[in-house]
Amino acid sequence: MKLKDQIAAITGAGRGIGRAIALKLAQEGANIVVSDIDLELAEKTVTEIYEIGSKAVAHKVDVCNYDEMNQLGEKALTAFDRPLEIMINNAGITQAKNIFDITPDEWDLMLNIHLRGSFFGMQMAGKIMKKTGKGSIVNMASVYGREGHPLTAHYSASKAGIIDLTKSFAKALAPSEIRVNSVAPSVVETDLWDLGDAQMSKLKGLKKGQAKEERLKQIPLGRSAKPEDIANTVSFLVSKDAEFITGECVHVTGGALMV
């Protein structure tokens, strides 16, 4: 129970990695604001959290919407009568597309969800945490934000931006002892990766599943990540065990990226 009675908000927590993070932080004793653009999915995660004996509340948030993002902090205070201490900017989408075919709308959506969403999530949480003098933020990046990729240029750029924004906020908030880190997974077994694989396989003239197989061959530990692998890392980063880590991007890639 490393996070006993702490208040956490997670975006995109209705399924996949966000759901796994919500369950893990709840197992560690945190109370969770489960936010997602899909309220029904968020409510399912809340039910699971109650089943493991912790408290949670569902909240519909489109991370591109500034007002909805700002309400997350108030939602935490109203629900649990305590200010936000942990903020996880996780919501995301994917799209594999040739660099010459990405449209302005697709570019804007990708950058808005990842970069704008994480920026205003950090801004909202940072303001609250500066007042209370405690808190920790984790942003979901990607190994593609380190490497770039010819079929995910907009996705990769948005994730590289998240890694950099993390450092800016870490520097700005360090005097208040608030830590800000990012996590960069490679292949995680979720709906997002299935979609990415389907799109990428098609673009490469491969059968569904083959793009993923190619990627898995580049992972020294020989398997894809489970959402829980990422959740365990996030749980460590927001805990006291990581109290001297800030501005870092932690690669959870099974060795696919070693720097």
The size of the chain, in residues, is 259
Q: Are 121 and 11 in contact (CB under 8 A)?
A: yes
| 21, 25, 31, 36: residue in contact with ligand NAD (rule CB under 6 A) | 36
191 binds ligand NAD (CB under 6 A): yes
CB atoms within 10 A of CB 37: 19
**DSSP H or E segment with residue 21:** helix 16-27
Question: Shortest gap between Cβ of 179 and ligand NAD (angstroms)?
Answer: 20
Catalytic residue status for 155: yes
| 3, 34, 49, 61: residue in contact with ligand NAD (rule CB under 6 A) | 61
| Strand ranges, E, within the chain | 7-10, 31-36, 56-60, 86-89, 136-140, 179-185, 249-252
90 binds ligand NAD (CB under 6 A): yes
Using CB under 6 A, which residues numbered 132 to 171 contact ligand NAD? 140, 142
| 79, 93, 102, 219: residue in contact with ligand NAD (rule CB under 6 A) | 93
Place of tokens 């594999």: 96
Per-residue DSSP letter, 183 = E
> Three-state DSSP class for 3?
coil
Residues 37 and 52: their CA atoms lie apart, in Å, by 24
Sole window of 35-43, 79-87, 121-129, 206-214 interacting with ligand NAD (rule: CB under 6 A): 35-43
| 6, 7, 9, 11: residue in contact with ligand NAD (rule CB under 6 A) | 11
| 115, 138, 188, 237: residue in contact with ligand NAD (rule CB under 6 A) | 188
Task: Provide the binding-site residues for ligand NAD, judged by CB under 6 A.
Answer: 11-12, 14-18, 36-38, 41, 61-64, 90-93, 113, 140, 142, 185, 187-188, 190-193
Q: Residues with catalytic annotation?
A: 155
